Amino acid sequence: MQPFDLETLPQHLAAIARRRRFALSFAALHVCAHKDYAMKNLFSPDNAVMLLIDHQRGTIKLATSTPYEEIVRNTRALARTAIESDMPLVLTSSQEDHFQGLLLDDIQHIAPQAYENRIKRPGVVDCWMYEPFKQAVLATGRKKIIMAGLTNDVCIVYPAISAVEDGFEVQVVADAGGSPTQMADQTSLDRMAKHGVTITTTNQLLAELATDWASPRGAAIQTILYEENLKHLVEA
């Protein structure tokens, strides 16, 4: 072995360090490629059911903690995702003949069949306690539930907790709903979380359902996400 020239010794040492870093990086990639680091127990259109609760013309006026347009956009995105990915969709309303009124026109247009089959509650606050609604959910055979609705502090908090207590996994999409005040909304979200409900947002949920934007289903959900939520930001 020839001795290093003192003038070139730093370059030799740097080269050795680079080779070692490369070897370590390659080893790390090798380990990652052979170990499953993916999240377990993801929700997907194949194992979940979408429940849109009380998105009614009058009730939405009470949800001032979230901008009106944001609730509508997010609700549209959820309804479209359910319909376009063949996920079961169950709709319910409360006291349509009172100030709450009918479900939003957007829901009627996106999901006409689900709208026709909606569960019209006479006034039961916790829709999980209303047997026709609960049976409609059970009939899907799904144990993972996605919930969104109006308002979070009245019409969502109770069925979300009730479903968890019955052994279901529940994600509540917070920004597809709202409450009369920020305090009311945060209190209800905190209460649900303490009882085992997962609080999520529309963009976060759609990414979870898509899994891979390059897959046919993922590409379809990405289109929905862009058209309903991201387009107005990109083009602003």
So which residues are the catalytic ones?
A: 155
Q: Are 45 and 209 in contact (CB under 8 A)?
A: yes
Q: Are 164 and 170 in contact (CB under 8 A)?
A: yes
Query: Number of helices and strands (H, E) in the chain?
Result: 10, 6
The dihedrals phi and psi of 43, each to the nearest 5 degrees, come to -75, 145
Please choose, from the candidates 97, 85, 87, 172, the residue with its C-alpha nearest in 3D space to the C-alpha of residue 128: 172
C-alpha to C-alpha distance for 119 and 91, rounded to whole angstroms: 6
For helices 182-194 and 157-165, give the axis angle rounded to 10 degrees.
0
C-alpha to C-alpha distance for 48 and 206, rounded to whole angstroms: 12
C-alpha to C-alpha distance for 101 and 221, rounded to whole angstroms: 30
